């Protein structure tokens, strides 16, 4: 590990070097997000600039990670984002950062492509976070499997999570095979734990003591071998072209509050880079839309705010007027639910929504949609994913359906009504900038 504050020399801007770690685990629920946030916060507190990335489609973890590092958090995914965009994002981060952290998704080798594919492609060493609850020396066997399952994968070492005592940590260390570095353990402490709900972690804005939780976890990091910077990694520049200015002069209203918050940072960057002016508004708190040409209603948790959304009649009238004027509206998942006639939560409470789309939605107790899909939108195909617990019944005939990567079942319906486009699909705009721009063109 590099003990200096400054990253390795960056004499060549085409191939800057920056200390980097890929935080992975044997599976979900080992504490990857908590540890990544703790690492980011610790190094920020040492005066370093930290850039954090999240592999795979995720909205909630990046909210936590952004609070931890104070910088935007972007997605890295070889299918959804694409290798060239991943390379560009990492290269730009390496030019300015003292440390790059990448949080994996699920287990290190889960999926195709998987987290290990990203780590190996960009030569970023893997830190394995392993939940040690109910185990001791066996943690070493799990770590050995992760380190040796794929030849060529760089492996930095192991951090044990949820360690019960110093003696427990000693037992874990005893079980580490030769050549595997054990950075230490993070104690089992409820102060570190991040609260969850049905779609994952609770949004950062809703965790009132989030900063104190992250600072406490950062203090724990200080007592491990991860207090020092990792070795520097070289990040090469990709061939990159600026997106076309297809949205010059277009004003886009973007819903953003605790009910509608599932927005990729890359989306806002791209819309602005294509010339759009963004105006943020809250369907929960605002009485009217801003003066805009188009509307973007992202996903989120409208089911948690049924009464507030139902009672904000002025906002619903403003949306209806925008729709009746033939102006574009693009709605994803929770944004689509808000445009229906009604939404019912899991306890049976029903709220009247905006009523732009015929149909009703009901929250379910089990997951109803999951996975990557190609989305044939009006202006072209966008790569996307779906993840939802609700079910929609609508008399409207879908204009198209998403196409699953494995073609195991029918994809998500894509609805079009005049200039309104809505679906459960969360599209990744940079996968096809022209198709994304088409959704908002007046």
Residues 260 and 383 in one domain: yes
Residue 245 pLDDT > 70, yes or no? yes
Active-site residue, 333 included = yes
Q: Looking at the domain assignment, is residue 246 inside a domain?
A: no
Mean pLDDT across the chain, nearest whole number?
Answer: 91
The domain tally of the chain equals 2
Instruction: Return the pLDDT at 9.
Output: 44
Q: Identify the CATH number of the domain in which residue 430 sits.
A: 3.40.50.880
Residue 37 pLDDT > 60, yes or no? yes
Residues 308 and 218 in one domain: no
**Which residues form the domain of 179?**
17-234
Residues 255 and 226 in one domain: no
Residue 153 pLDDT > 80, yes or no? yes
Percentage of the chain surpassing pLDDT 70? 92
Per annotation, catalytic residue among 86, 114, 333, 427: 333
Average pLDDT for residues 326-340, to the nearest whole number?
98
Residue environment code for 246-278, b if the CB has 16+ CB neighbours within 10 A, otherwise e = bbeebbbbbbbbbbbbbbbebbbbbbeebebeb
Residues 323 and 351 in one domain: yes
Quick one: pLDDT band at residue 379, thresholds 50, 70, 90?
A: very high
pLDDT (tens digit per residue) in 7-16? 444 456 778 9
Residue 42 pLDDT > 70, yes or no? yes
pLDDT (tens digit per residue) in 15-36? 899 999 999 999 998 999 999 9
Q: Are 98 and 229 in contact (CB under 8 A)?
A: yes
Q: Looking at the domain assignment, is residue 177 inside a domain?
A: yes
Quick one: pLDDT band at residue 5, thresholds 50, 70, 90?
A: very low
Q: Looking at the domain assignment, is residue 239 inside a domain?
A: no
pTM of the full predicted structure? 0.90
Quick one: pLDDT band at residue 194, thresholds 50, 70, 90?
A: low
Residues 171 and 310 in one domain: no
Residues 353 and 432 in one domain: yes
Q: In degrees, to the nearest 5, what angle opens at C-alpha 267 toward C-alphas 307 and 108?
A: 95
Residues 203 and 284 in one domain: no
Instruction: Return the pLDDT at 395.
Output: 96
Average pLDDT for residues 309-323, to the nearest whole number?
98
Residues 155 and 260 in one domain: no
User: Which residue pairs from 269-272 have beta carbons closer than 8 angstroms and sit at least 24 positions apart in sequence?
Assistant: 270/243, 270/429, 270/430, 270/433, 270/436, 271/247, 271/429, 271/436, 271/440
Q: Identify the CATH number of the domain in which residue 35 sits.
A: 3.40.50.300
Quick one: pLDDT band at residue 193, thresholds 50, 70, 90?
A: low
Quick one: pLDDT band at residue 195, thresholds 50, 70, 90?
A: low
Instruction: Return the pLDDT at 331.
Output: 98
Residues 187 and 45 in one domain: yes
Instruction: Return the pLDDT at 7.
Output: 43
């Amino acid at each position: 590990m590099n003990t200096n504050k400054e990253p390795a020399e960056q004499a060549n801007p085409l191939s800057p070097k920056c200390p980097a770690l890929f935080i992975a685990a044997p599976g979900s629920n080992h504490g990857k997000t908590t540890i990544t946030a703790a690492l980011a916060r610790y190094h920020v507190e040492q005066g370093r600039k930290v850039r954090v990335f999240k592999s795979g489609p995720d909205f909630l973890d990046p909210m936590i990670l952004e609070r931890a590092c104070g910088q935007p958090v972007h997605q890295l995914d070889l299918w959804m984002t694409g290798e060239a965009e991943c390379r560009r994002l990492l290269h730009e981060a390496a030019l300015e950062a003292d440390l790059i952290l990448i949080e994996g998704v699920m287990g290190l080798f889960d999926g195709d492509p998987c987290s290990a594919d990203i780590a190996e492609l960009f030569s970023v060493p893997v830190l394995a976070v392993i939940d040690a609850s109910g185990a001791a020396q066996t943690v070493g066997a799990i770590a050995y499997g992760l380190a040796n399952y794929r030849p060529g994968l760089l492996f930095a070492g192991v951090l044990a999570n949820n360690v019960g005592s110093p003696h427990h940590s000693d037992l874990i260390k005893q079980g580490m095979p030769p050549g595997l570095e054990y950075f230490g353990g993070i104690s089992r402490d409820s102060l570190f734990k991040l609260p969850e709900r049905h779609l994952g972690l609770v949004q950062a804005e809703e965790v009132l003591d989030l900063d104190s939780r992250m600072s406490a976890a950062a203090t724990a990091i200080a007592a491990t071998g991860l207090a020092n910077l990792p070795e520097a990694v070289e990040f090469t520049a990709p061939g990159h072209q600026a997106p076309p200015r297809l949205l010059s002069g277009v004003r886009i209203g973007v819903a953003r509050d605790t009910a509608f918050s599932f927005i990729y940072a890359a989306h806002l960057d791209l819309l602005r880079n294509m010339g759009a002016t963004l105006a943020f508004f809250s369907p929960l708190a605002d009485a009217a839309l801003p003066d805009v040409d188009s509307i973007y209603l992202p996903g989120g948790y409208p089911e948690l705010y049924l009464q507030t959304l139902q009672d904000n009649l002025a906002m619903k009238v403003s949306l209806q007027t925008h729709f009746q004027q033939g102006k574009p509206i693009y709605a994803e998942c929770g944004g689509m639910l808000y445009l229906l006639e009604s939404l019912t939560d899991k306890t049976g409470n029903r709220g009247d929504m905006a009523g732009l789309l015929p149909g009703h939605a009901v929250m379910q107790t089990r997951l109803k949609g999951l996975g990557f899909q190609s989305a044939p939108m009006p202006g072209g195909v966008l790569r996307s994913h779906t993840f939802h617990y609700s079910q929609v019944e609508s008399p409207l005939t879908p204009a198209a359906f998403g196409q699953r990567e494995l073609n195991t079942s029918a994809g998500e319906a894509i609805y079009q009504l005049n200039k309104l486009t809505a679906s459960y699909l969360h599209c990744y705009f940079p996968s096809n900038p022209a198709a994304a721009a088409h959704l908002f063109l007046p």
